[in-house]
Structure 1
Amino acid sequence: MTERLEANDAGISRAAELLRAGGLVAFGTETVYGLGADATSDTAVARIFAAKERPRFNPLISHFPDAEAAFTEAVADELARRLADRFWPGPLTLVLPRQPDGTISDLAAAGLPSVAVRVPRGTVTAALLRATGRPVAAPSANLSGKVSPSDAYHVLRGLTGRIDAVLDSGPCQVGVESTVLDLTGTAPMLLRPGGVTIEALAEICGPISHPDDYTDTLPVSPGRMASHYAPSLPVRLDAQEVGADEALLAFGPELPGAGLVWNLSPSGTVDEAAARLFAGLRFLDSEGARRGLTRIAAMPIPRAGLGLAIRDRLRRAASPRPA
């Protein structure tokens, strides 16, 4: 039975107790709900993969209450520390070399010499991480490849009976996952667009590589699988019209003729669209299937700011499903 815990002292204490005992606890961050486990325990991390039905070669992000704790597990150079000072706590994940004496499980790092670390924003999240007292590995709290959860109800719909508890801190504010920036090479590389824009990163990093190849056979960060964030109904991108058999994921003024619509942002604001993206995909998927629709038509999203992250999620949702 999956417990639903309130975001108060008792709920946080119970969630931390479960994590220290090797349990699985979903918790809200500013981005999406994560499925947490003790990142230092191979057994606990293995439970994440089992609960999510996740490929084991896809590494996990480890979460910390502050930068000092994160850098006990990851080797931070001057650039990493400047980024941490500017964007932590917040929706930025840094991929850094592992500390030689680090405690993060090889399974959480997928056997790589690097580790993905983040300090999420939010008083409840920080209190949980402090109470747990160890790194918490936490991919999104959904079945692998499915739409990420932006509230506790989404988590319970997908993972009830598979996990020990969900700490309900309400809806997530950002609504798309963290930006993932790899600092292990000769130049910073953007592995996943997310809640921190590439423009904001470039103010500190200078030029950033942004490979347009998401078919890695051995991903070095989460969110690098080609088919990801996928609803059951196929997704058609950059729609200029909507068919009678399609639900419409709108942005700005809606296309005419749609019988089922979720508008990410009637005013055409990418920040609002990011916060509503996953809830919209879930709604159109379930309601569209109920009505006998066969596809989701997604209107174009601008590339600026968080629009890049939204486009990335939609492209993955539209990719052919792996066998």
Structure 2
Amino acid sequence: MIMIIKSINDNLHYIIECFKRGDIIVLPTDTLFALSCDASNVESVRKIFEYKVRGKEKSLPLFFYDIEQIRQVCELNNLALMLAQRFWPGALTLVLPIKKNQNLIAENVYNSGESLAVRIPNSMHLQTVIKELGKPIVATSANISGQAPVKDSAEALKVFGERVVIIEGKSKPLPSTIIKINDKDYEVIREGQIKINQIEE
């Protein structure tokens, strides 16, 4: 059965139920469409790797509700905090070291890797979903690895079919900007909506 939800705003409680029961959801964000699930659900995370045909050695990016929730999973140094306070919620993804003893997300999200791509999306609806769920959600681009991200719900249906719940919406033209935080400095992985000169300021 094809499940297409017309509006995230009018169906927040139903969408939260979908996350709780382990559904894979294609949803519009403040950047590109995301393939998403509850980041603590091992089986749902496994399906996302399978649907994307993504290498198991990679990790999956996550959306969080706030900085305190991120602290439960990742280490934030002063530089990370400064960038977070300046650009979140928004289109900046930070790649941060994972805490060794975290127990908020499933281990197969990062598959023994040492860092994780995280951000707080600039979407009150998504923030509400994450807050109510009480856990971060996976937010990887909605595509088969190596192919272009889907632009809308019709394209999502073509790519993923009836295996996913689809929320209607439009993709923004640019992805998030990705910055990897090292001990003392940072490395630009991808320039997206936020320009590098804004980061350097």
Alignment-derived partner of residue 120 in structure 1: 121
Pairwise CA distance, 1:26:
1.2
Runs of at least 4 residues off by over 6 Å: none
Secondary structure of residue in 2 paired with 1:107: helix
Alignment-derived partner of residue 171 in structure 1: 170
Query: CA contact under 8 A between 1:12 and 1:167: conserved in structure 2?
Result: no
1:75 aligned to 2:72?
Answer: no
Pairwise CA distance, 1:22:
1.7
* Root-mean-square deviation (Å): 1.7
Q: 1:197 aligns with which of 173, 195, 198?
A: 195
Pairwise CA distance, 1:67:
2.1
Structure 1 segment 271-290 matched on structure 2, within 5 A = none
Alignment-derived partner of residue 162 in structure 1: 163
Alignment-derived partner of residue 314 in structure 1: none
Secondary structure of residue in 2 paired with 1:171: coil
Structure 2 portions without partners, runs of 5+: none
Pairwise CA distance, 1:167:
1.9
- Name the aligned partner's letter for residue 2 of structure 2: T
Structure 1 segment 52-63 matched on structure 2, within 5 A = 52-63=52-63
Query: CA contact under 8 A between 2:9 and 2:125: conserved in structure 1?
Result: no
Pairwise CA distance, 1:34:
0.5
- Name the aligned partner's letter for residue 77 of structure 2: D
Pairwise CA distance, 1:66:
2.0
In the aligned structure 1, how far is the partner of 2:163 from the partner of 2:57? 21
Kindly, what percent of the aligned residue pairs are identical? 28
Query: Given the superposition, is the C-alpha separation of residues 131 and 151 from structure 1 closer, same or farther in structure 2, using an over 3 Å criterion?
Result: farther
Alignment-derived partner of residue 140 in structure 1: 141
Query: Given the superposition, is the C-alpha separation of residues 6 and 133 from structure 1 closer, same or farther in structure 2, using an over 3 Å criterion?
Result: farther
Alignment-derived partner of residue 31 in structure 1: 31
Query: What TM-score comes out, normalization by structure 2 length?
Result: 0.91
In the aligned structure 2, how far is the partner of 1:191 from the partner of 1:8? 30
Q: Cα deviations across residues 293-319 of structure 1 (Å, max 9, x unaligned)?
A: xxxxxxxxxxxxxxxxxxxxxxxxxxx
In the aligned structure 1, how far is the partner of 2:182 from the partner of 2:39? 21
Q: How many residues align?
A: 200
Query: CA contact under 8 A between 1:180 and 1:191: conserved in structure 2?
Result: yes
In the aligned structure 2, how far is the partner of 1:101 from the partner of 1:198? 33
Secondary structure of residue in 2 paired with 1:160: helix
Pairwise CA distance, 1:72:
2.0
Pairwise CA distance, 1:49:
0.9
Pairwise CA distance, 1:8:
4.6
Alignment-derived partner of residue 112 in structure 2: 111
Query: What TM-score comes out, normalization by structure 1 length?
Result: 0.58
In the aligned structure 2, how far is the partner of 1:182 from the partner of 1:110? 18
- Name the aligned partner's letter for residue 28 of structure 2: G
In the aligned structure 2, how far is the partner of 1:192 from the partner of 1:106? 25
Query: CA contact under 8 A between 2:79 and 2:185: conserved in structure 1?
Result: no
Structure 1 segment 177-256 matched on structure 2, within 5 A = 177-203=175-201
Secondary structure of residue in 1 paired with 2:95: strand
Structure 1 portions without partners, runs of 5+: 204-323
Secondary structure of residue in 1 paired with 2:76: coil
Pairwise CA distance, 1:125:
1.9
In the aligned structure 1, how far is the partner of 2:125 from the partner of 2:195? 24
- Name the aligned partner's letter for residue 110 of structure 1: N
Pairwise CA distance, 1:56:
1.6
Pairwise CA distance, 1:10:
4.9
In the aligned structure 1, how far is the partner of 2:18 from the partner of 2:135? 13
Pairwise CA distance, 1:9:
4.9
In the aligned structure 1, how far is the partner of 2:54 from the partner of 2:91? 22
Query: CA contact under 8 A between 1:27 and 1:125: conserved in structure 2?
Result: no
In the aligned structure 1, how far is the partner of 2:10 from the partner of 2:4? 12
- Name the aligned partner's letter for residue 101 of structure 1: N
Alignment-derived partner of residue 93 in structure 1: 93
Alignment-derived partner of residue 151 in structure 1: 152
Pairwise CA distance, 1:3:
0.9
